[in-house]
Amino acid sequence: MSSFVIKSIGSALNATSLISSKFAAKRAINLFSSPRKGRYNDDQKRIIESAFFEEVTYNNFDIATYRWVGKGKTILLVHGWESNTSRWDYILKDFKAQDYNIVALDAPAHGRSDGKRFTSILYAEFINVAIKKFKPEVVIGHSVGGMASVFSVYQNQLPTVEKLILLGAPANSIGVFDRYKKMMGYNSRISKGIDSIILESYGQPITYFSTAEFTTSIEAKGLIIHDKEDRIIPYEDALLLKNRYKNSKLISTSGFGHGLKDASLTPQIIEFINE
């Protein structure tokens, strides 16, 4: 959406908040959690055609999973917001050459998975189901997929996971929400309303859901990769993660953007996996 449309929506909800701040906050949350893209187009479908497709379930959700079978380590690939498993196309060839057993899943409301709304908390539950079924030694998460992977490992104490690779991951939820509120230009009524809805829904304030803080009790070795020019998740988030995640190392890049889809990074990722 253009900045004009974004600000127009924000202004409309601000006006609505004068009548009902709770209604306006709910609309703001729904807007935040509703992906505008992420389902497969025809080109993306061709990328996953060679995979073994299987649906696993969490509550009433069908979770789409994909496998490229190998005899080596099992790697779970976790994509980010408004994406799907096809985003890993750039790295699949090199991983297959290593004979890794590659597994990937689609997030809630993305790809072929069920759902109309996305939250990192629900995604963490999807990841938990996938980890328990496929038992990966390594989990690679991009952006909010990295955040949800940390949430899942932290909350469920998943012993099979020996290594976590976080690509452009946010350090905490409050930063994500603050950037969203600022982008939309929400007033204090909506801002406080969003905070209250999250507390009511999950029994914890936004500040509790911190990737960086959760890593302090994770034993799996970590590799953090973040671009200094990332316009989506600030580089400062990577520094905060590295500061908290004691059993980790940081690779800083410049010019690769938030996607981090650069061939020069693949050998470093493989080296970390094979250590």
227 and 266 part of one domain: yes
167 and 182 part of one domain: no
163 and 244 part of one domain: yes
- For residues 62 and 113, the answer to whether their CB atoms sit within 8 Å is yes
For 207-248, the pLDDT digits (tens) are 999 999 999 999 999 999 999 999 999 999 999 999 999 999
pLDDT at 4: 75
136 and 97 part of one domain: yes
86 and 189 part of one domain: no
Burial class (CB in 10 A: 0-12, 13-18, 19+), 150: buried
141 and 216 part of one domain: yes
Euclidean distance between the first and final Cα of the chain, in Å? 43
Whether the pLDDT of residue 7 is over 90: the answer is: no
- Residue 80 CB-half CA count within 13 A: 17
- For residues 91 and 266, the answer to whether their CB atoms sit within 8 Å is yes
Domain enclosing residue 21, as ranges: 1-32+173-204
189 and 259 part of one domain: no
Whether the pLDDT of residue 80 is over 70: the answer is: yes
For 23-59, the pLDDT digits (tens) are 999 999 999 999 999 999 999 999 999 999 999 999 9
Distance CA 219, CA 134 (A): 20
Distance CA 94, CA 98 (A): 7
pLDDT at 2: 63
For 247-267, the pLDDT digits (tens) are 999 999 999 999 999 999 999
pLDDT at 157: 85
2 and 45 part of one domain: no
Whether the pLDDT of residue 167 is over 80: the answer is: yes
pLDDT at 121: 97
53 and 142 part of one domain: yes
For 81-137, the pLDDT digits (tens) are 999 999 999 999 999 999 999 999 999 999 999 999 999 999 999 999 999 999 999
Q: Note the helical H segments in 135-221.
A: 144-156, 173-184, 188-202, 211-215
pLDDT at 1: 59
The domain tally of the chain equals 2
